[in-house]
Amino acid sequence: MSYYYLILAITIAAAIGFVAGFYIDFLYGFSPDLEYDEDLLPQHYCHECECHTPIIEKEGSFYCSNCGLYH
């Protein structure tokens, strides 16, 4: 019977944390800045770097964020 209470307590704590996380996000409105966060930018193969790197759009042109090669 004690395992039942332990599982119930863990489930309630997770639900409270989940609701609190959504409430904090609603209050402060965290939105990532895509210009500076390379993890959220689209990936494209760069022939200069020879790997997939994040690409950045500037004035209608796309370029590699690593070496600056325009695609």
Q: Where are the domains of the chain?
A: 1-31, 33-71
Work out the average pLDDT over 4-17: 94
51 Cβ contact partners less than 8 Å away, ≥ 6 residues apart: 45
Whether 70 has a pLDDT exceeding 90, the answer reads no
Give the DSSP H or E segment for 46.
Answer: strand 43-46
pLDDT digits (tens, 9 = 90+) for 19-68: 998 888 878 766 555 455 555 566 767 767 777 777 777 777 777 777 77
